Amino acid sequence: MQARGDERKEAAQRRLVAFRVLLALILLALLTRSAYLQVVRGAQFEQLARGNALRLLPLPAPRGRIFDRHHELMVGNRPAYHVSLVHPGPGKVDEVIARLAPLLEMEVDEIREAIRRRADRLYEPVRLKLDVDPVTHSRVEENRGELPGVVVEVAPVRDYPGGSLAAHLLGYVGEIDALELARLEGYRQGDIIGKMGLEAAYDAELRGRDGGRQVETDANNRPVRVLGQVDPIPGNTLVLTIDAELQRVAEAALQATLAAVRAHPRTPYRATSGAVVVLKVNTGEVLVMASHPGFDPNQFASRTPRSYLDALRADPLSPFLNRVISGLYVPGSTFKMITAIAALEAGKVTLGETLVCTGTYRVTADHSKRCWRSEGHGAVNIFDAISHSCNVFFFEMGRRVGVDLLAYYARAFGLGQPTGIDLRPLEKAGTVPDREWKRSRFPRDPTFWLAEELDAAIGQGFHEYTPLQLAHYVATIASGGIRYQPYLVSRVVDPSGRIVRESGPRVIGEAPVSSPTLAVIREGMRRTTVSGTAAWLFGPRFKDRYGFEVAGKTGTAEAPKGSGRDPNAWFLAFAPLDDPEIAIAVLVEEGGSGSLAAAPVARALIDHYFGLVAGRRSPEDAPAEPGD
């Protein structure tokens, strides 16, 4: 018995020793691991721990403001609430998204996609909804305790005080997309950039430099203490050549004329859309750039309502199209001054020569072309032909000079080529047709036929130009042949008020046309407003009443046969005749008659610019046959 008891005691002691050894080994392992974590990797884990408590919150820079020539604010910024999410960690993100989505009226997948796009900046706030309304802001604040990582920031949002005023010119902003991110340098995912107009063309000057704030956060990622801050630097200011008040007049007059033409009691036309541009003759400054229909760029300053964007995209009139620089149109009778210049400079016509217009012009034995006035204009000289826009006279001039000479002078006045305006990436070149162009464009039908040459002489056929090019062309006539580059931005000013860059008149060419020829053209355009196709709007007493005269030219560009479209209406003008200050081009798509639809817009602009208070008339006041 005694032996058995001793054996049990020895076994118990051995188990106790083994347990103590095991316990010692466990303690040694824990101490070793603790020493490794604290000594070997202590600095790394300290940095990670501090990273869980510190956040770098970006402070976006306000974009630079945009002013008109009289320092009226056209684009600015306003403070707005944005809801962002700092990633709360894998275990919490799904729960937070599920709670946040209905508060923001967003889809869960939409929030996930926003987070995915910013995966490279995981611990920076991901903006989920910009410019939230007060109701949404209140909902988020009331539930902040259950939304770890949710941050409500105050940051600037683009503001366009005039709404749709000059929308195509000013443009709009939006979040950078994948294609832009791949193409542009110095941008990051989530940046706001200019998407169109001056906002895009001058984005580098307008965007400024973002700052940042280092904050200490609590367990729910809410800031509790600011540790440091780098203030953002606002973008540069643009001072434009645009006259905002004249721009308003242009847009209002264009819309009023569109409505009046559609409702005309005798000759209604569709009058769907249009464009207006006004240049300073001797500098190239753009005073007005209007395109209709348009859009409200404020809608793009934050999250664009899907319904609004869908409506714009579905609109067959293309509200995003800046017709002034990107729309290409047949010029119609406004081209006839080029034909007259070519004939005069080539010695193919004299001032004393008259032709008889009977309303038709024989091309071949079995084919004739018609004048817009069916009964004809009778005996006309070159002055009469310009002022009454006689097709028959210019058919004959086209036969005499040929299409290649017409093309030479068209290019000499800047037609068919970009003007070099500030919005260059969007500016279209157009088409000046000649024999070489026909051969390259239509290899199966390379001949420029006589009928096509006659069409070219009256601005029909293959011609395609922008309203800006036509304004530039008439400004060149007004300036005595000097071509000034059109421009929109006169000064770029930094936040301290220092002028970074200044623009001024720049001569880009001179039309090879003699002074006597230009004098003939100007006299023909003067007669257009005194006794010709635009006399119903101006008339012989205009000079007696206001002390100066206006030079103008109407145009009606026929639509292609079978298109179902009404003719486009044009009016070009400059004023005053003797000392030109402004040049105007007005286009009314499907307006029918240049005299009826386009000229009233130019008259409204002249009235406002020169402070005239009487003499305005509407299309309904026009005679039964107002002219080409």
SS (H, E, C) 127-144: EEECCCCHHHHHHHHHCH
**What digits encode the pLDDT tens for the residues 13-22?**
777 766 676 7
Give one DSSP letter per residue of 572-601, joined into a string.
EEEE-SSS--EEEEEEEET-S-IIIIIHHH
Q: pLDDT-based confidence at 98, cuts 50/70/90?
A: confident
Per-residue pLDDT, averaged over 240-248, amounts to: 98
For the purposes of burial, counting CB atoms within 10 Å of the CB of 429, is it exposed (0-12), middle (13-18) or buried (19 or more)?
middle
Asked whether the CA dihedral 232, 125, 49, 227 is positive or negative, the reply is positive
Q: What is the pairing mode between strands 66-67 and 237-240?
A: parallel
Per-residue pLDDT, averaged over 16-36, amounts to: 68
Has residue 150 got a pLDDT over 90?
no
Alpha helices in 217-290 (DSSP H): 244-262
For 507, phi then psi, to 5°, come to: -80, 125
Per-residue pLDDT, averaged over 340-359, amounts to: 96
**What digits encode the pLDDT tens for the residues 573-585?**
999 999 999 999 9
Q: What is the pLDDT of residue 89?
A: 60
SS3 201: helix
**What digits encode the pLDDT tens for the residues 499-510?**
999 999 999 999
What domains can be seen in the chain, in order of their start residue? Answer: 57-237 (3.90.1310.10), 244-621 (3.40.710.10)
Has residue 37 got a pLDDT over 80?
no
- Hey, what's the torsion of the CAs at 597, 324, 66, 284, to 10 degrees? -100
Q: What is the pLDDT of residue 45?
A: 46
| DSSP designation for 285 | B
Using a pLDDT cut of 70, give the percent of the chain over it: 86
Q: What is the pLDDT of residue 526?
A: 98
The token pair that represents 537 in the structure block: 């709007």
Q: What is the pLDDT of residue 51?
A: 46
Has residue 374 got a pLDDT over 50?
yes
**What digits encode the pLDDT tens for the residues 80-97?**
888 888 766 666 777 888
| Token pair 């990670």 in the structure block, residue | 48
CA distance 221 to 389: 75
The token pair that represents 525 in the structure block: 């355009």
Q: What is the pLDDT of residue 460?
A: 97
Q: Which range scores top for mean pLDDT: 155-159, 445-449, 611-615?
A: 445-449
> How far apart, in Å, are the Cα atoms of 389 and each of 154, 273, 556, 628?
61, 24, 10, 7
CA distance 231 to 532: 63
Could you tell me where the beta strands, DSSP code E, fall in 113-185?
126-129, 150-159, 173-175
Per-residue pLDDT, averaged over 119-141, amounts to: 76
Q: What is the greatest pairwise CA distance in the chain? A: 155
Please choose, from the candidates 582, 593, 580, the residue with its C-alpha nearest in 3D space to the C-alpha of residue 620: 593
